[in-house]
Structure 1
């Protein structure tokens, strides 16, 4: 009789594990919510904002680079009052009045096309990096969301497991008090209940961590997402 009860207890545990193992979270995925979370992460996540600012910065440098072509020219003038005598009558270019001149920096002139190309390349690189990070951000949001859903379902499983083990332990307690089962069988039921309770508590902690992680990347509380 005692041996049959022990076998029944083991079969109950195995059957419970098989039942829990058959659970799936695929049907629990809400893709509409997931797209909202991705959009929020792209809008609120600080690193995404920093990368967007880099793109804007490199874009704004393009017209600045174009205008910098004027830097290669250096205009100057010299004014000598008409009432003054000419400094060098032999030099026809040394006269009274205004004298204008333009200097060209040859080094800057040769360098500007390469500077313009570099500015365009920097802008393209910033765009590619932003796109790459956007894809990585989507993957990260999905991963955190899936973990969150996983923890919700694991909590359901461990809650059911704990309740089943509690019912079994309570039932075997009555049998033990009547002398129908051994102390080892009753103790095993209590150990199973302790393990199930511990697993449930740990899963609750994991769920809270997964929720915090998801909220951190989307920038708002899940309860505030409409």
Structure 2
């Protein structure tokens, strides 16, 4: 009976895992009343923490850098404009109201010149377009990284819930096996069963213990993977909700 329950749970969990892979952002279909009623703010909190992952921050910084480069490219065209002026003693009125002959010389009041390299302006337009495309690329990469980390953390949290439920069921299976094995051991001592029957009970007990160890390992591994992404203990996050 316990074995049938375990197989049924594996089927449901596998189906849920496939649905999760298709729609990473949707709530995970749980395999028991406890997991089905898990608060959704846990998932929201995990996503929030995952978005603070250093790998995601790199994408954010790259976009900020692209924004700064675009602003720099848009303003640097002023570097190609040269303004010059020529002021002299006459234009400054030094000899005004005097009989100095230099007062009769003609000088323009202002002598201003502007030099604009046309080739540089054409090139600058291309630089701005390149900077704008770099910003678009950085923005797309940032959005892609956010989506990927969200799908990853939700998928791993689903694996965590699934393995936790499987471990609960497997513990019950092992307990039943141990009870049967203990009875077989006692019967073997009295000679009421054959050694082959005892060996069969012992083998089943050990096989299910091995399965339990594998599930425990999978649970611990996925827990560590979640903690690597969110940068804190999963138990601490769960305790807050």
TM-score (norm 2): 0.74
Partners of 1:32 and 1:104 in 2: CA distance: 59
Provide the secondary structure at the position in 2 that maps to 1:102: strand
SS at match of 2:232: coil
- Aligned pairs for 1:183-198 (under 5 A) are 183-198=195-210
Distance 2:5 2:190 in 1: 31
Could you tell me which residue of structure 2 aligns to residue 16 of structure 1?
A: 2
Q: Please list, as runs of the form range in 1=range in 2, the aligned pairs for 1:32-47 lying within 5 A after superposition.
A: 32-42=41-51, 44-47=52-55
- How big is the shift at 1:221? 0.9
2:16 paired residue number: none
Match of 2:70 among 59, 62, 67: 62
2:100 aligned residue: none
Q: Secondary structure at the match of 2:114?
A: strand
CA contact (8 A) 2:84 2:112 kept: yes
Q: Within 5 Å, which residues of 2 pair with 1:61-210? A: 61-76=69-84, 101-210=113-222
CA distance in 1, matches of 2:114, 2:5: 88
Report deviation, 1:32.
2.5
Counterparts of 2:161 and 2:223, CA distance in 1 = 9
- Note the alpha carbon deviations across 1:150-195, whole angstroms, 9 max, x for none: 2211211221121111100001112222222110010111111111
> Which residue of structure 2 aligns with residue 215 of structure 1?
227
For 2:94, the equivalent position in structure 1 comes to none
Cα deviations by residue, 1:77-132 (Å, 9 ceiling, x for unpaired) = 678888xxxxxxxxxxxx8xx96543322221111222112222221221122111
Contiguous gaps of at least 5 residues in structure 1: 1-14, 83-94
Corresponding position of 2:22: none
State the Cα deviation string for residues 125-156 of structure 1 (Å, max 9, x = none).
21122111111111111111111112211211
Match of 2:103 in 1: none
| Inter-partner Cα distance in structure 2 for 1:206 and 1:126 | 36
Write the distance in 2 (CA, Å) between the matches of 1:168 and 1:201.
20
Please, which runs of 5 or more residues in structure 2 have no aligned partner? 14-29, 91-106
Give the length in aligned residue pairs.
202
In 2, distance between residues paired with 1:20 and 1:219?
A: 33
Root-mean-square deviation (CA), in Å? 2.6
Distance 1:20 1:208 in 2: 20
Alignment partners' CA distance in 2, 1:192 and 1:21: 16
Please state whether the residue corresponding to 1:22 is helix, strand or coil.
helix
1:224 Cα deviation after fit: 2.3
Q: 2:2·2:172 contact (CA, 8 Å) conserved in 1?
A: no
